[in-house]
Amino acid sequence: MSIYELVIEMKLLERRSTLYEEKYGVLSEDFYTALMSGKLARYDEYDETRADFSRWKGIYETWRQRKKVYARKMQERELPATLRVQPAY
């Protein structure tokens, strides 16, 4: 996956995460930390939150994976060589 494709996918994932952040009133990172530490277990009783939390967790984990790949690829290249638009002079 190219750096450009990673950026596009991360931005799409961020847009999807934003819907859950606005619905539940917390940022994805805080949600994920609480979920992984078991602090949200009582919400498993409710179908809507269980489904939402499962999707949100998947979105956030995918975003984190893409972010790691992006960071690694950016270390391998210089930013000017990565930009999609080059100066026309």
pLDDT, tens digit, 9 for 90 and up, residues 26-78: 999 999 999 999 999 999 888 999 999 999 999 999 999 999 999 999 998 88
Inform me whether the pLDDT recorded for 84 exceeds 80: no
Q: What is the domain count for the chain?
A: 1
By three-state DSSP, how is residue 38 classified? Answer: coil
Residue 87 domain flag = no
By residue count, the chain amounts to 89
Q: What contacts 24+ positions apart, CB below 8 Å, involve 4-12? A: 4/84, 6/66, 6/69, 6/70, 6/73, 7/70, 9/66, 10/63, 10/66, 10/67, 10/70
Question: At which residue do the structure tokens 């790949």 appear?
Answer: 69
Residue 84 domain flag = no
| Overall average pLDDT of the 4-25 stretch | 97
pLDDT of residue 79: 79
Domain coverage including residue 70? 3-76
28 close to 21: Cβ distance less than 8 angstroms = yes
Give the predicted TM-score (pTM) of the model: 0.85
Residue 89 domain flag = no
